[in-house]
Structure 1
Amino acid sequence: MSQTDPFQPAGQPAPSTAPLPALLLLPGLLCDQAVWAAQSVALASLARCVVPDYGMSDSIEAMARLALQAAPAPRFALAGHSMGGRVALEIMRLAPERVERLALLDTGYQPLPDGSAAEHERAQRYALLATARGHGMRAMGEAWALGMVHPTRLADRLPGDVFEEILAMIERKSPDIFAAQIQALLARPDATPVLGGIACPTLVACGRQDTWSPLARHVQMADRIPGARLAVVEESGHMATMERPVAVSGLLADWLAAPGA
């Protein structure tokens, strides 16, 4: 004899007990769970969110392999911000069959340029590392992070604001981790060949005022990925997930709800 659940209204379907899909959120250079904190909360009813730690990994491939180990399911949605976007593209090279959908935010896909541009980037990164070793991670962040946010966010430096949260996140890392991640970025692979083979639903998003990973680069990237959707986050610099959390969470919720490949 069957019994009726007294808490379930007659004629209504029982709530689904299927597990939520998995969402792997990849942080960027010197970032941790804080860079995805708002999205982890906003998307909690839609996906099981996991933010991996790269430890002392000193290559994009090593970071990708660690992230794959941290994935909470055999198949998952994958979003990467900044350096995390490069890690996401490396996952697409290593294990594309595991990725159900892909989001690339404020990131890039090209390798270190040749000639003087490479030397300039190398010198800039090592100068920041010298500051971190000589004066501490927060002092380095005070100089480095100025160009990472929309200019209006620098007018009022108050406890708990976005810029202070970014500095606190940087301060939680060590100069040795910084050195390892610099090495990974200077040896970053060329992901151009990966883009054309991406076959899952893909979102490419960028802050309108991102000067670190400018919008033009994201237009090129979206053009190379079959069927990719390009979205612009208004009034935001490079740290869009923290600067415009509601807008970014909305983009990701729509991306999660879009039909699969």
Structure 2
Amino acid sequence: MSAQPLLLLPGLLCDAAVWEPQIAELGDQADCIVADYGSASSITEMAQIALSLAPAGPLAVAGHSMGGRVALEVIRLAPERVTRLALMDTGYQALVPGFVGEGEKKGRYALLETARKDGMRALGLKWAPGMVHPSRVDGPVFEAVLQMIERKTPDIFAAQINALIHRPDASGQLAGIQVPTLVLCGRDDSWSPLSRHEDMHAVLPRSTLSVIENSGHMSTMEEPGQVTAAMKAWLNA
């Protein structure tokens, strides 16, 4: 079987480290391209950058966390190019209006203030404990997440916060996606809960739901074996 282009889309303050275990194991099935959004400040701009990095022609697209939202925008912008879609530990709705949405904005801007005042690692120490399974806080995966955050800057964080606050609502898009779609989530993801992925799975016509045991939000790093197995099956669908 020849390898197919696979566009990998990282999440907020993430980079290729999120996908390292998968890249190492999927080489016989996929030619992996990891997007770097630079200073892009909208989900649409991130999707456009990601598409520009991929080779011409058909491709599979996988997005983790914010990258899942970018993946949905990629397939909206270029549906003729996307042969498979993976939405992992992510969401699809716009910012909720009213009290809940204002609370989300307040929380994100407070983290940005920490980053500007005390540095990116201080931000990570506040934010990352909720990103991994409780058993991994202060462990090697947690440290890898902190180091990834430190590779970004407060200005990049500000741009990505803007993208998330003004994120598009993909609710009406899901039912029209006709490619094999992997919906994957850590069972203990407290940031993008399993219930949201069950909702997506119920609407997406050709979707498979994969629940990653013993994992929080950073499933690709926390339980790489489970995630890679699910991705291999998806690439063969």
Q: Hey, what does 1:211 align to over in structure 2?
A: 190
Tell whether 2:228 aligns with 1:245.
Answer: no
Secondary structure in structure 2 of the residue aligned to 1:182: helix
Bigger radius of gyration: 1
Shift in Å, 1:191? 0.4
1:189 equivalent in alignment to 2:172: no
More deviation, 73-82/168-177: 73-82
| Corresponding residue to 2:145 among 152, 159, 166 | 166
1:171 Cα deviation from its structure 2 partner:
0.2
Match of 1:46 in 2: 29
**Aligned twin of 1:7:** none
Determine if the alignment matches structure 1 residue 81 to structure 2 residue 64. yes
Q: 1:153 aligns with which of 120, 123, 136?
A: 136
Give, in whole Å, the separation in 1 of the partners of 2:181 and 2:162: 28
Match of 2:94 in 1: 111
Distance 1:227 1:152 in 2: 34
Matched residue SS, 2:178: coil
Q: Secondary structure at the match of 2:70?
A: helix
Q: Deviations over 1:1-48 (max 9, x none)?
A: xxxxxxxxxxxxxxx7xx521000100000000000100111011110
Structure 2 counterpart of 1:162, one-letter code: V
Could you report, residue by residue, the CA deviation over 1:46-105 in whole angstroms, capped at 9, with x for unpaired residues?
110010100000000000000000112411011000000000001111111100001100
TM-score normalised to structure 1 length? 0.89
**Residues of 2 paired with 1:32 and 1:240: CA distance?**
14
* Corresponding residue of 2:104: 121
Show structure 2 runs of 5+ residues with no match: none
AA paired with 2:9? L
Q: Residue 149 of structure 1 contacts residue 239 of structure 1 at CA under 8 Å; is this kept in 2? A: yes
Equivalent residue for 2:208, pick from 229, 234, 245 = 229
Kept in 2, the 8 Å contact 1:92–1:194? The answer is: no
The root-mean-square deviation of aligned C-alpha atoms, in Å, is 0.9
Q: CA deviation at 1:210?
A: 0.2
SS at match of 1:103: strand
| Cα distance in structure 2, aligned partners of 1:58 and 1:35 | 21
2-structure distance, mates of 1:140, 1:72: 35
- Corresponding letter in the other structure for 1:169: M
**Amino acid of the structure 1 residue aligned with 2:179:** C
- The count of corresponding residues between Structure 1 and Structure 2 is 237
Q: Is the 8 A contact 1:202 1:227 kept in 2?
A: yes
1:24 corresponds to 2:13: no
Q: Distance in 1 between matches of 2:100 and 2:144?
A: 31
Measure, in 1, the Cα distance between the counterparts of 2:176 and 2:75: 9
Amino acid at match of 1:138: R
1:124-135 to 2 correspondences below 5 Å: 124-135=107-118
Percent of aligned pairs sharing the same letter = 59
Q: Deviations over 1:216-260 (max 9, x none)?
A: 0000011111021111000000000000001100100011011xx
State the match for 1:176 in structure 2: 155
The residue that corresponds to 1:35 in the other structure is 18
- Structure 1: runs of 5 or more not aligned: 1-15
